[in-house]
Structure 1
Amino acid sequence: MSVVRLILPASLAALTACAQQPLHSVVLESQSQCPVFLNVDQTVTLQLPTNPSTGYRWLVQNPGASVLRSLGPEVYSHPEEAGVVGAAGQSTWRFQARTPGKGHLMLVLQQPWAPEIPPAQTFSCDITVK
Structure 2
Amino acid sequence: MKGLVCFGLVILSMAMSACHAPSNPVVKTHEYTIEQKCPTLKNMKVGEVLIFNVSENPSTGYQWQLLEPLKIFKTEETYLQNNSDEKAVGASGTKTFRFTAEKPGQDYIQLVHVRAWESSQQPDQKWLCRIRVS
**TM-score normalised by the chain length of structure 2:** 0.74
Question: Counterparts in 2 of 1:1-130, with a 5 A limit?
Answer: 3=9, 6-7=12-13, 9-13=15-19, 22-30=26-34, 32-35=36-39, 36-65=42-71, 67-70=72-75, 72=76, 74-82=77-85, 84-130=88-134
Q: Which residue identity is paired with 1:38?
A: M
Q: Is the 8 A contact 1:63 1:104 kept in 2?
A: no
1:81 partner SS: helix
Q: Is the 8 A contact 2:37 2:127 kept in 1?
A: no
Q: 1:80-124 deviations in whole A, cap 9, x for unaligned?
A: 124543232111121211112221101111110110111111111
Structure 1 CA distance, aligned partners of 2:127 and 2:35?
A: 6
Q: Which residue identity is paired with 2:91?
A: A
Give the paired residue count: 124
Q: Is the 8 A contact 2:56 2:92 kept in 1?
A: yes
* Runs (5+) with no aligned partner, structure 1: none
Q: Which residue identity is paired with 1:51?
A: N
Structure showing greater radius of gyration is: 2
**TM-score normalised by the chain length of structure 1:** 0.76
Structure 2 CA distance, aligned partners of 1:105 and 1:5?
A: 50
Residue identity (%):
27
Moved beyond 4 Å, runs of 4+: 2-6
Structure 2 CA distance, aligned partners of 1:8 and 1:109?
A: 54
Q: Which residue identity is paired with 1:79?
A: N
Structure 2 CA distance, aligned partners of 1:63 and 1:116?
A: 19
Q: Is the 8 A contact 1:28 1:47 kept in 2?
A: yes
Structure 1 CA distance, aligned partners of 2:130 and 2:18?
A: 40
